[in-house]
Amino acid sequence: MKRTQLLTKTTKNLPADETSKNAQLLIQAGYIHKEMAGVYTYLPLGLRVVEKIKQIVREEMNKINSSELIMTNLQPADRWQETHRWSDEVVDIWFKTRLKDETELGLAWSHEEAVINMMRGQITSYRDLPVSLYQFQAKLRNELRAKSGIMRGREFVMKDMYSMHATAEDLATYYDQAIEAYKRVYDRLGIGDDTYVTFASGGAFTKFSHEFQTVCEAGEDILYVHREKNIAVNEEVLEEACEELKIDKSELEKVKSAEVGNIFNFGTDKSKDMNFTYADDQDQHQHVYLGSYGIGITRAMGVIAEKFSDEKGLIWPKAIAPYQIYLVSIGEQGSREADKLYQTLTDQGVEVLYDDRDIRPGQKFADAELLGIPLRITVSDRLVEQSKYEITNRKTGENSMLTFTELADTLGTHV
Amino acid sequence: MKRTQLLTKTTKNLPADETSKNAQLLIQAGYIHKEMAGVYTYLPLGLRVVEKIKQIVREEMNKINSSELIMTNLQPADRWQETHRWSDEVVDIWFKTRLKDETELGLAWSHEEAVINMMRGQITSYRDLPVSLYQFQAKLRNELRAKSGIMRGREFVMKDMYSMHATAEDLATYYDQAIEAYKRVYDRLGIGDDTYVTFASGGAFTKFSHEFQTVCEAGEDILYVHREKNIAVNEEVLEEACEELKIDKSELEKVKSAEVGNIFNFGTDKSKDMNFTYADDQDQHQHVYLGSYGIGITRAMGVIAEKFSDEKGLIWPKAIAPYQIYLVSIGEQGSREADKLYQTLTDQGVEVLYDDRDIRPGQKFADAELLGIPLRITVSDRLVEQSKYEITNRKTGENSMLTFTELADTLGTHV
């Protein structure tokens, strides 16, 4: 993509009410646009990052035999009444609306009830189990406050997965597979080392649920971690968990963190509420076991923007960067050579954002840093004379002068 | 994908209130699930079709230099009040909801106002124009009735594109390019021959807008067509259009049709309402010209399901079929051979749905037909003995017995 064809410009203007670092950086670099508090448009650059995160999550969910589908925002009341989660007093984040005939509808903030309502028509026998399904969906949540940029959205992309099982053991096994899949996701997103599977409150259903918490200054949660033992506990269950883990509170380090994933073992509670059963091999009706597994896709993007950035701008991990290379041309000869290099690289499928604008080199360099593309390649008149390309690593700041062959080697492309 | 791993089964049970053919077929074949009237979940098979249609549209929009982004469902009132489209009396399909502090929000049924509100912060000079952007987004529309299955949804996927220009001429040129891009889309979807660019009412903005109408018995519109002259006119503007086209009404054939696309030339009307201007080369403020271009992705899928189906089920065009091949195994030896063929084909990237279930052949054949996969390959004990594969064309019903080499030739795969 050429910068002259890119829809958006970088900007120094920020919405007056935008106080979060992730949204400030992403707005300045042209990744997102703020519609209102907690509601953001994903511009072409931002959409590329979202899609890359989704693809990583998709591959890992497919590996544990989950099937992708897409459910709906509009939710009839009946199925949510069965589990007593329709009431605004029980669930205080519903957005609701009305049909012309005044029938009240909800806008989905999660999909357990919708999934059970659908699958109780599909699953009849133990032979139909286990089943796992997931979606990427724009969830709507009526948050009282939304001041954390894309880390807490009123409208945000979530991967939500639901698994259904004949027995508690089968659910437990899958639940562990899901934990491993989630770990692979965070590793691939570049936040694996700072992300902990934590003991969190299970609400009414289980003693503990599991959260995936990433150490992050901008996070809204408090975590107690033991880095060597790889243990992390949420503040709300600290006493209980320490007892359970036979660990003293004083051994734990207190850090701020952001929840990037949350998984629940619902057991048969929801299936009992909704009469979701299967016939076992004795033809007896049994309740289905349900697991629920969420990853906030756009929240993860916000956490990564917070963690991997400096005073100059964003620093994307390679796996989710919108482009791999920011190509800067300087001067007439430099531009001719950069045109050629752009063609060569894009022909080979390398994702290049080519700053072909007629502006000062300093502005191009500043944009390269603000946008956070992993590698910058500079082609100038002076470098062309030396038959050299300058390559700069956004993360380390390392600079090298390479011949074309060395450049191709570095990028893993063919000359 | 193996049928034993597919989330959904085919079914004979239909929701009592489902009267449309497209939804009946798609529910029976396991492509969609009905949440409520006009609101459908897209199951794994259905999602594959949706994604294929989206990819075709994406490629054609990219070809006319439009950039993909994703905007939001939640819409603040202010920008819609500027154009007087916030009122439920002016726009009678709004779904609205409220924040905790009682602020009213809309749920997007279109995005012109959102686009202008965003872009008036980006576009300052004539050098920033033209610009075109598009998205695939789940639109919400509060339809009074929703009885046409996925052809008229209260929640549905739409591709909406918006283009901004410095002059009327530049918009006109792009508008024509968009018409050509739309024609390529419908050709690739397999409905090109039956889809007409029609003269429709332009509302307050222009004398005529253009609709893309596909001849379809289940359609809600009436079209007057002249097949040789490739002219089509909507009923509502028949008199006027005949005059304009110098054609007699009696020459036109009356058919039922479904709108699969709609494009509008808004001129500078909306920009004037919203004070959306750029500085021209004399540094004078001028209003931006706006075009708006929609394709109902899920509606197109519904139209295709209606048109390409028979009493046995769906008949997908190759380009959007969820899988290219429905592989049926019969008997023990047949299963072993089918296992191998499944591996060989999937390794080469051929999309195969493999019916590996332990059920009667007749049930497998019936499912192959109901699902509408373009080619069925049968591998039975008897065929293995003859070293033959049976290949059946869903559309034509043609049957051939092929050797492995002939099969590979037919499929364009390597042996």
> For the residues A109-135, what does the mean pLDDT come to?
96
As a whole number, mean pLDDT of residues A239-257 equals: 89
Note the pLDDT of residue B241.
83
For the cut 70, the answer to whether the pLDDT of residue B212 exceeds it is yes
Q: Please list every residue in chain B whose beta carbon sits closer than 8 Å to the beta carbon of residue A121.
A: 11, 13, 33
pLDDT digits (tens, 9 = 90+) for B81-120: 999 999 999 999 999 999 999 999 999 999 999 999 999 9
Summarize the confidence of residues A222-229 as an average pLDDT: 91
Judged against a pLDDT cut of 60, whether residue A252 lies above it is answered with yes
pLDDT band, very low/low/confident/very high, at A279 (cuts 50, 70, 90): very high
CA distance A58 to A67: 9
pLDDT at B207 exceeding the cut of 90: no
- Report the percent of chain B where pLDDT is more than 70: 98
Q: Is B131 on the interface with A (CB under 8 A)?
A: yes
Residue B243 CB contacts under 8 Å (≥ 6 apart), including other chains? none
Instruction: Find out whether A163 and A111 touch, Cβ atoms under 8 Å.
Output: no
Complex ipTM more than 0.90, yes or no: yes
Residues 20-59 of chain B whose Cβ lies under 8 A from any Cβ of chain A = 33, 35-36, 39-44, 46-47, 50
Site from A32, A67, A115 to mutate, B interface, most B CB atoms within 10 angstroms: A67
Whether the pLDDT of residue B253 is over 90: the answer is yes
Distance from CA of A127 to the nearest CA of B (A): 10
Q: 3-state DSSP call for residue A66?
A: coil
Quick one: average pLDDT of B318-345?
A: 97
Predicted local distance difference test score (pLDDT) of residue A92: 95
Does residue B288 or residue A239 have the better pLDDT? B288
Interface test with A, best of B12, B49, B51, B69 (most A CBs within 10 A): B69
> Is the per-residue pLDDT at A313 higher than 90?
yes
pLDDT at B202 over 90: no
Average of pLDDT values for A204-225? Answer: 84
pLDDT classification of A413: cutoffs 50, 70, 90: confident
Residue of higher predicted confidence among A294 and A201:
A294
pLDDT at A121: 86
Inter-chain touch B142–A100, beta carbons under 8 Å: yes
Say which DSSP state B340 is in.
H
Partners of A352 in the β-ladder: A325
**Mean of the pLDDT values across residues A58-85?**
97
pLDDT given for residue B89 in this prediction:
95
Q: How confident is the model at residue A87 (pLDDT cuts 50, 70, 90)?
A: very high
**What is the Cα–Cα distance from B58 to B60, expressed in whole angstroms?**
5
Does the pLDDT at position B206 exceed 80?
no
Determine the average pLDDT of the residues in B215-226.
94
CB A165 within 8 A of CB A287: no
* Predicted pLDDT at B243: 85
Q: What is the pLDDT of residue B293?
A: 97
Which of the four pLDDT bands, split at 50, 70 and 90, describes residue A201?
Answer: confident
Look over chain B and give the mean of its residue pLDDT values, rounded to a whole number.
94
H helices, E strands: number in chain A: 12, 23
CA dist B117 and B114 (Å) reads: 5
Minimal CA–CA distance to B100: which of A145, A90, A147, A153? A145
Confidence of residue B205 (pLDDT cuts 50, 70, 90): very low
Across the interface, whether the CB atoms of A6 and B144 are under 8 A apart is answered no
pLDDT of residue B239: 87
Q: What is the phi-psi region of residue B103: left when phi exceeds 0, alpha when psi lies from -120 to 50, beta otherwise?
A: beta
Q: What pLDDT is attached to residue A204?
A: 45
Instruction: Give every CB contact of residue A190 below 8 A, 6+ residues apart in sequence.
Output: A304, A308, A317, A318, A319, A320
Q: Quick one: average pLDDT of A180-185?
A: 98
Residue of B256, B213, B212, B252 whose CA lies nearest to B229: B252
Q: What is the mean pLDDT of residues A204-214?
A: 74
pLDDT of the residue at A199: 77
Whether A5 contacts chain B with CB within 8 A? yes
Residue A52's CB: how many other CB atoms inside 10 A? 20
The beta-carbon neighbor of A72 closest among B9, B41, B114 is B41
| Of A9, A74, A155, Cβ closest to residue B155 | A74
Region A328-354: mean pLDDT is: 96
- The mean pLDDT of chain A is 94
Res B199 pLDDT > 80: no
Q: Does A410 touch chain B (CB under 8 A)?
A: no
Nearest-CB residue to B140 (from A40, A73, A76): A73
Q: Say if A93 is an interface residue toward chain B (CB within 8 Å).
A: no
Token representation of residue B322: 């969820």
Integer Cα distance of A86 and B190 in angstroms: 43
Cβ-Cβ contacts under 8 Å for B44 (sequence gap 6 or more): A67, A68, A69, A133, B6, B7, B8
